[in-house]
Amino acid sequence: MTSAPLNAPAGPSTAPRYARVLSIAGSDSGGGAGIQADLKTFAALGCYGMTAITAITAQNTRGVTGIHGIPPEMLKAQIDAVVQDIGVDAVKIGMLHSPEVVRVVADAIREYRLPHVVLDPVMVATSGDRLIAQETVGVLVRELFPLAEVITPNLDEAGWLLGRTLAGLDDLEQAAQDLLGLGARAALLKGGHLPGDWVVDMLATAPGQPGHRLQSARIATHNGHGTGCTLSSAIAAHLALGQPLQQAVESARAYILGAIAAGANVVTGGGHGPLNHGYAPVAQRVF
């Protein structure tokens, strides 16, 4: 007789349930990024969202004015509480501000064998505010890159990880391959910070194999706050719903393009506004 997975919920295994996605990330008091964006995305895509908050930030559309880290033991307690009772079908990881917090998350992934881990190595906010200590970066790479199904850095984050500036489209494929060389199983390198009329992302899934290029017309907007959080949480949601990685990335990209377009001209605050996460919600799936 096969034993139940460590992250299985209590109750009969044949009972109907939702697609369950856990966000391990920081809170954005302005509601556009972090935990708040993740929960909106999970709901919009028909999933049941849960959270383990790593840090509380005081921020709005103009910037970050304060960060308060959650103690590692409280983060562990949040993860334990969710996993042991409800269960998890996919995980999105965002802001991890200290080495101790990274290790708590890595230990939980291994202990509970958490599936479909999407790691967004959040380092800098849209406003330019740095959100992670330098000493945390090495621990993040060593501990979490091998455990994640995919990592989703933007151009600046990838440049920080690789120790060089990524300045053009020609850099994307090699940089994505080099991220695999750091231990990532797959890497979605987001090229949205590059100038031009097109946004090009590169998905690398195997060392030495050509990457999958995804591109779309750039949408003119000042409302890009939380774009990276939303994309990674959408990938996790689609993985929880049963899509393979490349399809999940393509589906997540389609969702985020719709959310950007739907919120492009809306005014929220005086800085970088959020996406319209709820532009086309779908019913929560029951399996």
| Global pTM value | 0.94
pLDDT of residue 189: 97
Instruction: Provide the 10 A C-beta neighbour count for residue 268.
Output: 18
How does strand 64-69 pair with strand 90-93? unpaired
Each residue's pLDDT tens digit, 151-208? 999 998 999 899 999 988 889 999 999 999 999 999 999 998 888 999 999 999 999 9
Mean of the pLDDT values across residues 130-157?
Answer: 90
Across the range 124-142, mean pLDDT stands at: 75
- Minimum mean pLDDT range among 3-12, 46-55, 118-127, 183-192: 3-12
Q: What is the pLDDT of residue 142?
A: 96
> What's residue 110's pLDDT?
98
Q: What is the pLDDT of residue 135?
A: 82
**Cα 188 from chain centroid?**
11
Please report, for residues 31, 131, 175, 271, the alpha-carbon distance to residue 157 in angstroms, rounded to integers and kept in the order given: 22, 11, 11, 22
